[in-house]
């Protein structure tokens, strides 16, 4: 499990799109971020008052099953919820949206709360896998910024509420000999064999996520990351297959801890928060340097939004709604971001998020970088083409 690295300075982002760069000027500050409970106490509020769905309170179940991405919540929040409300949280993790979908389609009915990404939400709605929710029963939904409400994959937030958002780019070892003079500025550094052969011996990782990896290959080829064109999808598949012999691993679950921080690779397709974790875990107070940096490729990259939803099969929907409201509390939302290093859609949480995170352009990208970001969207029947491409990639 990730440990929150405190105190935190700006995580350096080499944003080649914006033609800028930088790094920390000194060592981390000396104060530790507040816990959710401490933050609530500072404002004179109490978690029980802020998260209660009604004055009388709902009838809560004894247990609630939560299925989330690995290392994607401060588990102290789960413990606090259990102690405050007497609900035991059964917590399990998955590595990709496709793994989550496969588990549900295989008949797993024990999960109550799940955290799918944007494009997967629309698929799950079509498949009838998500319960409808009434945001009027979630008072803390008011904390969510307007830009994250009413998303095209879930109009009216009838099934889900926003959880965390971030970007997908490239994490790399800036002192790798080849990168000293050639810092990665393109997806070519993950797909072009002529480049890969210069550092493959030191380790390359790509996300074990079909839509993420295929989207990167598509934009590298000059196509839309959500292409539904069979020829373009086939070309992207072939790009990955040709690059695959140079890859050490396909890992999207724990690569920041087991590969980046452990020094097993020198470059990785990466989510922004995982790159930040690697940066701070290898940060040297004496030199003010880290073993890792993060960049958004010049062709553009994915901007994603993960969401909290309730499964259609859940028999504990009232408890699930109560738990969701708890996570959307301002202080609790901040505790999640201070732990994961991913941006929060919770506008009210900004009062408790570590200032250096809020000012970090790798976590909250500037407008010129955001202009090159795009959402992954549902691709209709082309999803079968992506499945076939992924099977071919993994089968080689």
Ordered by start, the domain boundaries in the chain are 1-396
In angstroms, rounded to a whole number, what is the distance separating the alpha carbons of residues 328 and 336? 10
**371 contact partners, CB below 8 Å, separation of at least 6:** none
Q: What percent of the chain has pLDDT over 90?
A: 77
- Helices 97-105, 118-126: axis angle to 10 degrees equals 20
pLDDT score, position 57: 64
Whether 327 contacts 163, CB under 8 Å? yes
Q: What does the mean pLDDT of the chain come to?
A: 87
**379 contact partners, CB below 8 Å, separation of at least 6:** 119, 226, 227, 228, 386
Q: At residue 14, does pLDDT exceed 50? A: no
Q: Which residue has the higher pLDDT, 347 or 58?
A: 347
Residues 117-121 have a mean pLDDT of 94
Helix (H) or strand (E) holding 289: none
pLDDT-derived band at 48 (thresholds 50, 70, 90) equals very low
Return the residue matching tokens 């072009």: 192
Peptide bond into 7 cis (omega under 30): yes
Whether 394 contacts 214, CB under 8 Å? no
CA neighbor of 330 nearest in space, from 343, 345, 348? 348
pLDDT in tens, 66-92: 999 999 999 999 999 999 999 999 999
pLDDT in tens, 309-325: 999 999 999 999 999 99
Return the residue matching tokens 């982002």: 13
Q: Which residue has the higher pLDDT, 171 or 9?
A: 171
Q: What CATH number labels 1-396?
A: 3.40.190.10
CA neighbor of 214 nearest in space, from 199, 222, 225, 205? 225
**320 contact partners, CB below 8 Å, separation of at least 6:** 64, 112, 113, 310, 314
């Amino acid at each position: 499990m990730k440990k929150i690295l405190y105190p935190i300075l700006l995580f350096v982002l080499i944003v080649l799109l914006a033609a800028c760069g930088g790094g920390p000027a000194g060592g981390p500050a000396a104060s530790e971020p507040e816990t959710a409970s401490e933050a609530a106490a500072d404002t004179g509020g109490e978690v029980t008052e802020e998260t209660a769905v009604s004055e009388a309170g709902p009838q809560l179940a004894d247990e609630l099953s939560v299925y989330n991405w690995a290392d994607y919540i401060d588990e102290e929040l789960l413990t606090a919820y259990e102690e405050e409300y007497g609900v035991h949280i059964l917590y399990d993790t998955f590595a990709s949206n496709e793994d989550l979908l496969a588990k549900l389609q295989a008949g797993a009915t024990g999960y109550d709360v799940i955290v799918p990404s944007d494009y997967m939400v629309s698929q799950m709605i079509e498949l009838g896998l998500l319960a409808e929710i009434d945001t009027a029963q979630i008072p803390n939904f008011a904390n969510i910024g307007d830009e994250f409400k009413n998303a095209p994959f879930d109009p009216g937030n009838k099934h889900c509420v926003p959880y965390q958002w971030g970007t997908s780019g490239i994490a790399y070892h800036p002192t790798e000999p080849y990168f000293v003079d050639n810092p990665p500025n393109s997806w070519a550094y993950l797909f072009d064999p002529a480049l890969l052969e210069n550092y493959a011996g030191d380790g390359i990782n790509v996300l074990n996520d079909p839509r993420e990896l295929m989207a990167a290959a598509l934009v590298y080829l000059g196509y839309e990351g959500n292409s539904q064109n069979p020829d373009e999808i086939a070309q992207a598949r072939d790009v990955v297959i040709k690059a695959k012999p140079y890859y050490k691993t396909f890992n999207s679950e724990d690569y920041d801890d087991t590969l980046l921080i452990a020094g097993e690779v020198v470059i990785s397709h990466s989510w922004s928060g995982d790159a930040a974790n690697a940066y701070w875990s290898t940060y040297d107070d004496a030199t003010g340097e880290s073993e890792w940096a993060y960049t958004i490729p010049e062709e553009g990259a994915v901007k994603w939004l993960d969401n909290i939803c309730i499964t259609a099969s859940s028999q504990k929907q009232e408890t699930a709604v109560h738990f969701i409201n708890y996570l959307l509390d301002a202080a609790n939302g901040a505790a999640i971001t201070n732990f994961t290093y991913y941006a929060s859609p919770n506008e009210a949480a900004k009062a408790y998020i570590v200032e250096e995170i809020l000012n970090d352009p790798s976590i909250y990208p500037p407008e010129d970088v955001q202009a090159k970001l795009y959402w992954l969207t549902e691709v209709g029947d082309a999803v079968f083409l992506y499945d076939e491409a992924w099977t071919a990639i993994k089968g080689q």
